[in-house]
Chain A
Amino acid sequence: MEMVKLTIDGKPVEVEKDATILKAAKTIGIDIPTLCYFQLKDMNIENRPGGCRICVVEVVGRRNLAPACSTNVAKDMVVNTHSIRVLNARRTVLELILSDHPAECLTCAKSGYCELQTMAQQLGVRELPFQGAQSTYRKDTSPAIIRDVDKCIMCRRCEMMCNDVQTVGALSAVNRGFMAVVAPAFEMNLEKSPCTYCGQCVSVCPTGALTEVDHSRNVINSLADPTKTVVVQTAPAVRAALGEEFGLAPGTLVTGKMVAALRRLGFDYVFDTDFAADLTIMEEGSELLDRLTRYLKGDQSVKLPILTSCCPGWVNFFEHNFPDLMDVPSTAKSPQQMFGPIAKEYFGKKLGIERKNMIVVSIMPCLAKKYECQRDEFKVNGDPDVNFSLSTRELAHLIKLANIDFNSLPDEEFDNPLGASTGAAVIFGNTGGVIEAACRTAYELYTGKKLEKVEFNELRGLENIRHATLDFNGLPINIGIAHGLGNARKLLEDVRAGKSQFHAIEIMACPGGCIGGGGQPFHHGDSEIIKQRAAAIYREDAAKPIRKSHENPFIIELYKEFLGKPLSEKSHHLLHTRYFDKSAATYVEE
């Protein structure tokens, strides 16, 4: 690639011919302020509408200011990124954006995390000279995501994630001029749209236009209620990212402190979703083996590949777009939803606690889990198996609200019997982790041999679609992995066309897997953070004494005492589910 020499702020720089001024400046440590621009490097995700005009710079010889994100470099170009003309223009642009933005920082859910707020501070905005009418819209609350689009600045990031990356198509820019906004079709509520609640729109929104439904108040009320036993479960991906909210470096494992904080918040029992992940492997691994052996024996009625089903964003996507393949995913519930019935029916009953007096709270990196726990099939007589799901961000808020000094907490252990887990369970947080965990168990159950090496490195990595062939004692097993719903769609279309070569496919809706979930601390496009979180998850796995789900003694005990064996009638009743055809859903009522 041909290189080009130019000058930025008096400094010489040499970059590829097709680089933008923004990229060129970055290579010499100059960070031109941006607002609508967003990039998740290494994952091919970029939003570059050139719309906000915050990143404008002076280019000698060019009459008007150039948007750095969308202007290519040229030989001998001379750029000034912070002349007085640029600074004045940048501030005026921001004042114009703010002229149609509610001045609600004090009560806004995004306060302290808002990129618009940060920009106003950075540019020294001290007054709002442009007063006038403001465009107002109806507030939209869905089970997981709140749309308050009075705050929308038309950066188009959410539209990009939803349409280009996730290929869900729930959002689009609509109307024009003053009334332009990003909304679902017919400006109906998100709940009526094909939205999967994956939350990627929330994780990229620079303002408070898109936020999550916050159940902290419900949890606080439950904790304060002396008649309730409140039990909490924590997802694997949370422990690799929670520390970031307290100033710790990305990739710092804070499992022990997380448990200590939850105990101090007043939860009666601090359990681990990872325990239920081991359970999921028992059920799903057995289902995989059952289908595989019947298929190999020539049973034509058996559907392969088997698809993982622990991701509710993925399940939603599936129900909307591939209902014709309904019997392809595993019937196993997600770890969150397996935990609920075990907590209420097994643990709670053992302690003599009435079902309605046990509140199960989950801490998840995910927003779709908020929607998942209120699905009707996950309730018994109206009482949900999992009452509330909080995101990693909400937990951090709660810890700060309770004035707990997170960084000085001692490391504590989970409670038993629902707190012990293996390394296989913790890798659920990464893309490729669920299927690796399943293979660790499936290999040993199928071949009867012990795995020499527990890590399946060929299943790891951040490429969008990965595949590997594993050797089960001479039997080749083809594994497919996708993260991001757009990539999932590609794999599913192959399955629909009968072209899929895979025996098992793992899908996670979020880029990077759960560690990049919609409820995690904002990464602002820094893919290094996602890589560090993934590495932390693998470190926790390597440090565990037990690394295969079927060797978890508490899981063995649970089957012996209560469930019988995987895929038993009791297991089916409590730990398996069914799916619903949502393809005919329309915005227009009958």
Chain B
Amino acid sequence: MAKIKLSERKLQELKEVCKSFNNDKGELINVLHKAQSIFGYLPAELQEVIAKELNVSVAHVYGVVTFYSFFTMTPKGQHPISICLGTACYVRGAEKVLEEFRRVLKIQVGETTADGKFSLSCLRCVGACGLAPVVLVGEKVYGRVSPDGVKDIVAEYNN
């Protein structure tokens, strides 16, 4: 694992966050949420910083990061694509839509494209069942997505 250089400004922001929680090790999960929102993901170097700030072992921080699926150690794409696999979407063919995204983007679930543009993940029910199957790209919701429509959605972001 090669070392990456973390932005000084963002690190300072993170240290302020820790201070606002009194560097209390009990606030680890809250700190990790804020850290992921500042940095977009939680690389190893960042986990070491957080461990030091909250006076916990790096192993413990890593344990918490890997336990919760929300926390990620790989950067999300510029346009994060989430496919809903809740019941309504599932029975209306969400799996085929997922397969098509995998084929078009050439990545697996949990991965990011090499150019950093798109990442792929799955969600459980987002509560838009009337629009099933549902796909989210960033905050935008696409309804009644068919496998044929996948490459058009991707094309929207490729300009």
Contacts and interface: CB of A to CB of B under 8 A. Distances in A.
Interface stretch (A60-68, A143-151, A167-175): A167-175
B114 interface: no
Interface residues of A, number: 21
Contact of A169 (B3, B48, B56, B67): B56
Contacts of A170: 57, 59
A193 interface: yes
A186 B1 contact: yes
Given A175-B67, A185-B47, A185-B57, A589 B3 contact: yes
Interface string B54-77: 001111111100110000000000
Interface residues of B, number: 17
Interface string B1-12: 111000000000
A169 B1 contact: no
A588 interface: yes
Interface of A: 163, 168-176, 183-186, 193-194, 586-590
Nearest to B65: A174
5 contacts: A168-B57, A170-B57, A174-B62, A194-B57, A588-B3
B61 to A, nearest CB: 7
B13 interface: no
B6 to A, nearest CB: 11
A586 B63 contact: no
Contacts of A586: 48
Contacts of B2: 588-590
B48 A184 contact: no
A176 B70 CA distance: 13
Question: Top 7 A-B pairs ranked by shortest CB distance?
Answer: A169-B57, A172-B63, A172-B59, A185-B58, A185-B62, A185-B59, A174-B66
A249 to B, nearest CB: 39
A226 B2 CA distance: 48
Given A185-B58, A589-B2, 9 more contacts: A174-B62, A174-B63, A175-B66, A183-B59, A184-B59, A185-B57, A185-B59, A586-B48, A588-B44
A369 to B, nearest CB: 24
Contacts of A173: 63, 67
A590 B2 CA distance: 6
Nearest to B62: A185
Given A172-B57, A172-B60, A186 B44 contact: yes
Given A185-B47, A586-B48, A172 B62 contact: yes
A163 B59 CA distance: 10
